[in-house]
Amino acid sequence: MRFDSVNYELVNTTALVTLDEPSKLNALSPGIRSGLITALAKADEDPKVRAIIITGAGDKSFCAGADISGFEFTTTYAKQFIDKVLDVLALPENTSKPVIAAVNGYAFGGGFEIAIASDFVIASEQAKFGVPEIQLGLLPGFAIVRLAELVGRQMAKYLSMVGEPISAHEAKDLGLVLKVVAHDELLDRAFELADKLASKPQMAIRYAKSVYNRELGGADITYAKDVMPFLFLDEDTQEGVTAFREKRQPKFK
């Protein structure tokens, strides 16, 4: 079954959701975003589904972040874009069933954020994690309100302000990843965890997720939605995005 650019498969009691635009590194295109919304809603509503796995098509990328090919430098466009994207990135948190991110490659920007919004992250040993938005003159809209709790304030600042990727093992050391596994075993290990979760009493599983996530998705997300669009008006942001499109180094003022 396919929803726009996302494949959906029910395997026993697990919904396997695959972001499927590998030629674009599974970036958060409109097709990926709309497909993910539909796929997670279907999984949440299906009584047969007890766990959800999100992964990326191909061997190179889980999700390489936002598709910036159509960026416009206006607050109206930026506000609409941020509102839509942050709601998509928060979907794994707001889904009632446990979500496992099986990170098969690059998890940059929005891909990184989908991973940390999931309940569990299992990473291929070749996975890379990062929030490189600073290279465009931007900041990660979702991670900026989640990273400090996960890795501490200093490391959250470092990852956001420097923008360099880290390995799967470094991400595990920081507590961002539950397990690092051999690349060809990634989905097997993810399904093993999904089956363990499926074997437990489901009301308790859902209640545990609800309680642990009870303070998420409130005023901090609203604040990010209100503040982030103003970065789109900065000259350095326009230079960063233009340089990325032209495949050259940006010259920030």
Catalytic residues: 113, 133
- First and final C-alpha spacing in the chain: 48
Query: At a CB cut-off of 8 Å and minimum separation 6, what does 213 contact?
Result: 93
Query: What's the Rg (C-alpha) of the chain?
Result: 17
**What tokens appear for 63 in the block?**
């999700």
By CB atoms closer than 10 A (0-12, 13-18, 19+), residue 190 is: buried
Query: At a CB cut-off of 8 Å and minimum separation 6, what does 36 contact?
Result: 6, 17, 19, 54, 88, 91
